[in-house]
């Protein structure tokens, strides 16, 4: 295989509703898309880096620069046997997983299309339908939060996750538990707490949450291990798990009992599959996280979620929850049972709407 041409595009997309987390408010996304021409076959990938370095150190601008300045020069003119070899080729570049992950995903899509098989089958997926949960941002009032949860449950979603931050944690959880005693409920703090907040996090225990996602520092395994010893509720790590080595350390230290997997955060399918295999061997349940992706990233998340170890509902949802109009055809739809039927076509199984993508493009470079 040879990457003949790589097109980078920055598109702008306005969210249907603003999304608030402990690290900030997002009203519109700036998204870096990768269009890879591999031996004349086109594959698509999405870089999930944020607009600012607040979820992780990467941003769309660092990803663009690293891709153009370092990843592309490594792959340019290079012959490789399979998409699975690209992760090792990019190894000399340390970190920048979201840049690598988006690019590598485009190569996997192209490879699956070359072979004429669905990407999810190509990576070893086994599920024809994946289970969906939703991630709900911090809301201005508890009434608004409750109404949002009501609506998402009515749409069929199997698990509710709410974002929390100091001062906006126990009250929303208590309210939701009172109103919805039986639902699968969890919280995501995006690193908003410190070790000293253990008593506050312990006060969430009576609400039998499925898990508490990433309560402490974004790269702090030690403190999560100490906190997990104080909690019955499982800790799920998101931000902390940016490599296979960190996943192994987290599991061995007891820093978490569940892992949220994101293709971009770990650097693509090769790294994700290694972490997946480790979690299966160690009996750590996995689920697929989301990063407010456009349809292209969403399609990759669906493929990833078909791996056998993804035993819990992911943050993989319908296009219309985030976008007035998505950039793929068909849009991602969720069944009344809260599942997505995995597409059967080659590659990601959705068609990028190139014209709609071009309309939203504010920056573009063609590397060849």
Q: Which residues bind ligand OSB (CB under 6 A)?
A: 55, 135, 188, 190, 238, 289-292, 315, 317
CB of 238 to Mg ion, least distance (A): 4
Nearer to ligand OSB, 26 or 114 (CB): 26
Nearer to ligand OSB, 135 or 305 (CB): 135
Buried-exposed string 85-109: b where 16+ CB fall within 10 A, e elsewhere: ebbeebeebeebbbbbbbbbbbbbb
Is residue 193 within 8 A of residue 167, CB to CB? The reply is: no
Nearer to ligand OSB, 214 or 306 (CB): 214
Q: Of the listed 163, 165, 320, 333, which one is catalytic?
A: 163
Give kind and range of the element (H or E) at residue 91: none
Q: Which single residue is written with the structure tokens 């995006």?
A: 190
CB atoms within 10 A of CB 24: 13
Residue 87's binding partner out of Mg ion, ligand OSB, none, with CB under 5 to 8 Å set by partner kind: none
CB of 54 to ligand OSB, least distance (A): 9
Q: Could you give the count of Cα atoms lying within 13 Å of 130 in the half-sphere of its Cβ?
A: 34
CB of 291 to ligand OSB, least distance (A): 5
Is residue 266 within 8 A of residue 228, CB to CB? The reply is: no
Position of minimal CB gap to Mg ion:
238
Residue 102's binding partner out of Mg ion, ligand OSB, none, with CB under 5 to 8 Å set by partner kind: none
Least Cα distance to 342 among 108, 127, 45 occurs for 127
Is residue 194 within 8 A of residue 180, CB to CB? The reply is: no
Active site residue 262: yes
Nearer to ligand OSB, 290 or 309 (CB): 290
Residue 294's binding partner out of ligand OSB, Mg ion, none, with CB under 5 to 8 Å set by partner kind: none
Residue 343's binding partner out of Mg ion, ligand OSB, none, with CB under 5 to 8 Å set by partner kind: none
Which residue ranges make up the site for Mg ion (CB under 5 A)? 188, 213, 238
CB of 166 to Mg ion, least distance (A): 16
Nearer to ligand OSB, 7 or 317 (CB): 317
Active site residue 163: yes
Instruction: Report the C-alpha dihedral over residues 235, 250, 293, 36, rounded to 10 degrees.
Output: -170
Q: Of the listed 262, 282, 320, 364, which one is catalytic?
A: 262
Residue 315's binding partner out of Mg ion, ligand OSB, none, with CB under 5 to 8 Å set by partner kind: ligand OSB
d(CA 327, CA 350): 10
Give the residue ranges of DSSP H helices in the chain.
Answer: 60-66, 72-75, 86-89, 97-115, 119-122, 142-154, 170-179, 198-202, 221-230, 244-253, 263-266, 269-282, 295-304, 354-360
CB of 290 to ligand OSB, least distance (A): 2
Q: Which residues are catalytic?
A: 163, 262
């Amino acid at each position: 295989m040879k990457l003949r041409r790589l097109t980078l595009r920055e598109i702008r997309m306005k969210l249907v509703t603003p999304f608030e987390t402990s690290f900030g408010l997002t009203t519109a996304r700036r998204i870096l898309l990768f269009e890879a021409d591999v031996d004349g076959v086109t594959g698509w990938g999405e870089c999930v880096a944020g607009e600012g370095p607040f979820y992780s150190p990467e941003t769309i601008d660092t990803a663009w620069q690293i891709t153009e300045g370092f990843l592309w020069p490594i792959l340019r003119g290079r012959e490789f046997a399979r998409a699975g070899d690209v992760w090792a080729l990019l190894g000399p570049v340390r970190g920048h997983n979201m840049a690598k992950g988006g690019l590598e995903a485009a190569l996997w899509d192209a490879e699956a299309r070359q072979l004429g098989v669905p990407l999810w089958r190509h990576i070893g997926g086994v599920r024809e339908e994946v289970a969906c949960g939703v991630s709900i941002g911090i809301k201005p009032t508890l009434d608004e939060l409750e109404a949002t949860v009501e609506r998402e449950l009515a749409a069929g979603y199997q698990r509710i996750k709410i974002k929390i931050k100091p001062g906006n944690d126990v009250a929303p959880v208590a309210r939701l538990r009172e109103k919805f005693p039986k639902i699968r409920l969890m919280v995501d703090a995006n690193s908003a707490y410190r070790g000293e907040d253990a008593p506050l996090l312990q006060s969430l225990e009576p609400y039998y949450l499925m898990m508490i996602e990433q309560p402490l520092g974004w790269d702090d395994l030690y403190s999560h291990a100490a906190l997990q010893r104080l909690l019955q509720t499982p800790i799920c790590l998101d931000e902390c798990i940016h490599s296979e080595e960190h996943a192994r350390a987290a599991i061995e230290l007891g820093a978490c009992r569940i892992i949220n997997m994101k293709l971009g955060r770990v650097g693509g399918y090769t790294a994700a599959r290694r972490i997946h295999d480790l979690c299966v061997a160690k009996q750590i349940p996995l689920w697929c996280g989301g990063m407010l992706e456009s349809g292209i990233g969403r399609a990759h998340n669906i493929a990833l979620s078909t791996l056998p170890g993804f035993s819990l509902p992911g943050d993989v949802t319908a296009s219309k929850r985030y976008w007035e109009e998505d950039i793929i055809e068909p849009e991602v739809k969720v069944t009344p049972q809260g599942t997505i039927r995995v597409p059967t076509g080659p590659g990601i199984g959705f068609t990028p709407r190139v014209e709609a993508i071009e309309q939203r493009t504010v920056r573009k470079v063609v590397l060849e």
